[in-house]
């Protein structure tokens, strides 16, 4: 039954599992119900509300949580298994009193991943999260448990990175990219949110329909810190929630076969720097990981600025790891399709799996979880004399902190209390960074809100 309070319409409902969820033990159910130390309830509530709020473009996590402050979830153990009871859930997740089936699938994907990460990964001696190999092994088990590793495996999962705060023109172009990929029977993986994360999936559904592809994959990979601000879009049919941003980024490059970068902002730049930093490792010199940056003609200055920033900080070797194609979606899809042949041949010759990129070397600096605080941001070493892969790792953390300061409710509270983060380093790099961030602000790439953006950072000019 639908209730309305002010302009907020809500529904109380009981929901049976849909999709992938194993029967839970009483211990696991108690863990889900608990708000105390080690309990999952606060995190679970945030993630479930994000899924139920799918389709609503609002990247202010605190506003969403405040709007549905009465939202609650409890769990009932029945003979047939686990049942979820929702109170004051967003009404737009229901049609004629019934929850949308895709939403129900994503709800239980949240439950599956949070329980698995807590019970099977943390504290299990099989997963030494203090080592590179142990972390990669954990990433593998999480995505396998989420059934992202489909057999028989094929090379054809294209990761599309891009921002949630983009123009309508850029969103329409992202749909064209997805459409052209779908016509070539390629599958889509994104960060699962709105904007450039939704557009490629939406376009691919049409391309797949024309080619009579019945099992098109629309994979969304997210993490608890940003899910409330970037709710999974309704097209996602395979959702996985990684424990943190670093494991999310590793999952992208382990399960994806090629990367297309669409217009975005700080988060997209973080992803670019992550991949380039990984690819700059000498062990990865001969591993094909195609990367194409693309957008409509209006986005050309955005990509040229990023290209100049990469060249000035990481050098020409990093620039050689990607290509920029502007305003030509068919050319992008055709180029990516051809480059995937190289990926397929390389993995075949080396006996590497199609479903998981085991050979890619990822330094420990790119795996360590980074929590943005005033102290951790000020302590980042962004200097000229660092090895390129270390500089890439720290620049990635700079942008990660800015993303956190833009959308995470706990980081927003820190900034409200103690002011913006302070970013320091080489004078030349700080000038480049300040110019790039100023361009993002001017182009309204930081937040969805129509109000003037107030930076969560301050760039200081030099050591």
What distance in Å separates the CA atoms of residue 190 and residue 240, rounded to the nearest whole number? 11
Say if residues 276 and 309 touch (Cβ distance below 8 Å).
no
3-state helix, strand, coil in the chain (%, to 5): 50, 15, 35
Those residues with Cβ within 8 angstroms of residue 372's Cβ, 6 or more apart along the chain or in another chain:
400, 401, 404, 405, 408, 411, 421
Please state, in angstroms and as integers, the Cα–Cα distance from residue 182 to each residue in 161, 202, 361, 407, following that order. Answer: 16, 10, 30, 31
pLDDT in tens, 123-143: 677 788 889 999 999 999 999
What distance in Å separates the CA atoms of residue 139 and residue 144, rounded to the nearest whole number? 8
Cβ neighbours around 175 below 10 Å, total? 20
- Residue 52: its pLDDT value, please? 87
Q: How is the chain split into domains, by residue range?
A: 2-122, 157-463
Architecture of domain 157-463: 3-Layer(aba) Sandwich (3.40)
Q: Mapped to the 3 state alphabet, what secondary structure does 54-122 carry? A: CCCCCCCHHHHHHHCCCCEEEEEEECCEEEEEEEEEEHHHEECCEECHHHHHHHHHHHHHHHHHHHHHC
Averaged pLDDT, 216-245? 88
Architecture of domain 2-122: 2-Layer Sandwich (3.30)
Among candidate residues 402, 406, 400, the one with its CA nearest the CA of residue 366? 400
Look up residue 193 and give its DSSP letter: S
pLDDT in tens, 355-406: 999 999 999 999 999 999 999 999 999 998 898 888 999 999 999 999 999 8
Say if residues 19 and 108 touch (Cβ distance below 8 Å).
yes
- Residue 67: its pLDDT value, please? 82
- Residue 65: its pLDDT value, please? 77
In this predicted structure, the answer to whether residue 93 has a pLDDT above a threshold of 80 is: yes
In this predicted structure, the answer to whether residue 257 has a pLDDT above a threshold of 80 is: yes
Q: What is the pTM of this model?
A: 0.90
């Amino acid at each position: 039954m639908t209730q309305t309070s002010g302009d907020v319409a809500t529904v109380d409902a009981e929901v049976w599992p849909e999709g992938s969820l194993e029967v839970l033990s009483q211990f696991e159910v108690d863990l889900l119900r608990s708000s105390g130390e080690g309990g999952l309830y606060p995190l679970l509530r945030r993630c479930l509300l994000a899924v139920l709020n799918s389709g609503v473009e609002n990247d202010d996590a605190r506003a969403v949580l405040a709007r549905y402050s009465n939202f609650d979830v409890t769990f009932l153990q029945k003979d047939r298994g686990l049942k979820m009871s929702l109170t004051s859930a967003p009404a737009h997740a229901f049609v004629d009193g019934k929850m949308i089936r895709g939403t129900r699938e994503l709800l239980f994907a949240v439950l599956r991943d949070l329980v698995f990460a807590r019970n099977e990964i943390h504290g299990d001696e099989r997963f030494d999260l203090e080592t590179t190999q142990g972390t990669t092994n954990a990433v593998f088990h999480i995505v396998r448990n989420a059934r992202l590793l489909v057999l028989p495996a094929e090379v054809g999962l294209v990761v599309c990175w891009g921002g949630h705060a983009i123009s309508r023109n850029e969103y329409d172009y992202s749909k064209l990219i997805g459409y052209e990929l779908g016509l070539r029977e390629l599958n889509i993986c994104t960060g699962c949110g709105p904007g450039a994360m939704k557009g490629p999936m939406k376009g691919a559904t049409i391309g797949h329909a024309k080619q009579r592809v019945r099992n098109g994959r629309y994979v969304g990979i997210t993490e608890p810190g940003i899910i409330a601000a970037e709710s999974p879009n309704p097209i996602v049919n395979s959702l996985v929630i990684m424990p943190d941003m670093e494991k999310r980024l590793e999952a992208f490059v382990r399960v994806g076969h090629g990367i297309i970068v669409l217009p975005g902002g700080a988060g997209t730049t973080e992803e670019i720097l992550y991949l380039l930093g990984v690819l700059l490792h000498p062990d990865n010199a001969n591993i094909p990981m195609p990367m194409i940056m693309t957008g409509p003609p209006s986005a050309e200055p955005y990509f040229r600025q990023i290209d100049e920033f990469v060249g000035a900080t990481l050098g020409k070797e990093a620039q050689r790891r990607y290509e920029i194609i502007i305003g030509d979606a068919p050319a992008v899809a055709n180029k990516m399709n051809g480059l995937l042949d190289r990926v397929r041949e390389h993995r075949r010759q080396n006996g590497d799996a199609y479903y998981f990129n085991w050979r890619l070397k990822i330094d420990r600096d790119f795996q360590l979880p980074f929590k943005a605080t005033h102290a951790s941001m000020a302590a980042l070493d962004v200097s000229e004399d660092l090895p390129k892969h270390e500089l890439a790792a720290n620049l990635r953390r700079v942008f990660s902190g800015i993303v956190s300061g833009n959308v995470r409710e706990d980081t927003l509270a820190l900034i409200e209390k103690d002011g913006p983060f302070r970013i320091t380093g080489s004078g030349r790099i700080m000038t480049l960074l300040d110019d790039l961030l100023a361009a993002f602000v001017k182009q309204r790439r930081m937040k969805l809100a129509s109000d003037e953006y107030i930076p969560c950072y301050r760039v200081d000019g030099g050591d």
